[in-house]
Chains A and B, each alone.
Chain A
């Protein structure tokens, strides 16, 4: 079945970087853009950006530009998101999600279970 399996929880110090992975299975990886989102404790969901697995092209939310890098490895059907210069505000659960786009619709139909990133000194 279609699924996205994310890497395990991370604990990082302020100023460090973290990379979260998202391995896709059950579908053609290159056929769907991958989105990244996060949810800080007690907060709602926040969209971070997407990556085109075919071209490697990306689009980030403005607040993350310069600090978030999205990449992929098509040989192993895996997308990655790196966040640099971590602060406590980056403590959150990070999700990857598959994007479906069509005639007048755009939605994320399959999500990973999330990766908890804790930033603490």
Chain B
């Protein structure tokens, strides 16, 4: 199985900060990498697919980059509604696997 290593596991940031989350795969996955936002009690929300494509309806402050084994999710200016846990997920091979998540908390 492909392992997804995500870091940091948590971070504290202020509204307006630029936030970067990193995800690394144990095998090359081309751009089969997706990012999700999860707020407890709600359905996970797709942010980025194909490593860098913004899902419809997602604010442009979210962006993704990378290919092969190294990927990043960037929030250019953190907003109050962005405090959540973020997961990367590879869809290159079955079983699809997720990073352990990055919890973004208010500083």
**8 A-B residue pairings within 8 Å (CB atoms):** A44-B99, A44-B100, A47-B95, A47-B96, A61-B94, A108-B46, A109-B55, A110-B46
Measured CB to CB, the closest approach of chain B to A102, in angstroms, equals: 9
Size of interface on A: residues with Cβ below 8 Å to B: 23
Residues of B within 8 A of A107 (CB): 34, 46, 49-50, 89, 91
Measured CB to CB, the closest approach of chain B to A98, in angstroms, equals: 10
Residue A109 contacts which of B46, B87, B100 (CB distance < 8 angstroms)?
Answer: B46
Q: In the complex the two chains form, is B43's CB within 8 Å of A114's CB?
A: yes
Q: A45-B98, A46-B98, A105-B53 are in contact. Are A95 and B44 (CB under 8 A)?
A: yes
Interface of A is mostly: strand
Q: B interface vs A, CB < 8 Å?
A: 30-32, 34, 36, 38, 41-46, 49-50, 53, 55, 87, 89, 91, 94-101
A29: Cβ under 8 A from any B Cβ: no
Residues of B within 8 A of A47 (CB): 95-98
Q: How far is the CA of A59 from the CA of B95 in the complex (A)?
A: 10
Measured CB to CB, the closest approach of chain A to B52, in angstroms, equals: 11
Measured CB to CB, the closest approach of chain A to B100, in angstroms, equals: 5
